[in-house]
Structure 1
Amino acid sequence: MQKWIFFVLFILAGALGLGVLFQDISDRQDAQAAAAAASKLPQLKVVASNWQFDQTEYKVKSGQSTKVSLQLKEGVHEIEIVGLDIKLDKDNPSKEVTFDKPGTYEIHCILPCGEGHATMKTKLVVE
């Protein structure tokens, strides 16, 4: 009789373990699907190095959700897109933004980063 009880308990524990395993796999698949959907957003990557950005002008489309990200190539920088209330730094390097207002906006470094800090500026054109 004890053997049957242990056998039933073993089968139930195995079934419970498989259920937890498949639930975890399902949760991971949902997280991967959400990440894949987020990665399909258009990207605006601002690369900052010592006292300059990688482009003199960046362009995005108006009304379209875009993932704006800051990549630090050299030095430590923080950027602000003036007039759009967007600030990025090494702790918060990206943000999903919908650019609603067409126009030209200034991007500049807001963390004093050395002798060329005052001229570390570029433009964002929202078309």
Structure 2
Amino acid sequence: MEKVKIENLQELDKFTKQFASMLKGDEVILLEGDLGAGKTTFTKFLLKHLGVEEDVTSPTFTVMNEYEGKDFNIYHIDMYRLEKFDLSDILGKGLVIVEWPKENVDYDKVYKIKIEVLDNDVRLFILEGAKTP
């Protein structure tokens, strides 16, 4: 388990740039954290570094947004209002990012990231299954 303290958006930008450089496009990222912790903000910065040029928005009402990155597709899923979501059709076809995961994903390339709010702009990122960038 790795812990990274992020104190501002510039640090988040640097962190997500390094994290993006490790991704091959066949991983699953499970994002946990309270409402307003920064799950979607993390995703916006990460996707920017993966070559997504369009506006990245929360998939709260659409359940899943699909983006085309420079090297692979990205599926951004919000399970806040769902009990289950079958990922089998998209696993291995691109990067899968799940906000509010309800269960563990049976897949060999899963990164779990929990975001804790420490202060107004300060977050603690707790990573499992991945090396800290």
Query: What's the TM-score, normalizing by structure 2?
Result: 0.28
- Choose between structure 1 and 2: higher strand proportion: 1
- Choose between structure 1 and 2: higher helix proportion: 1
The structure whose RCO (Cα within 8 Å, separation 6+) is larger is 2
Query: What's the TM-score, normalizing by structure 1?
Result: 0.29
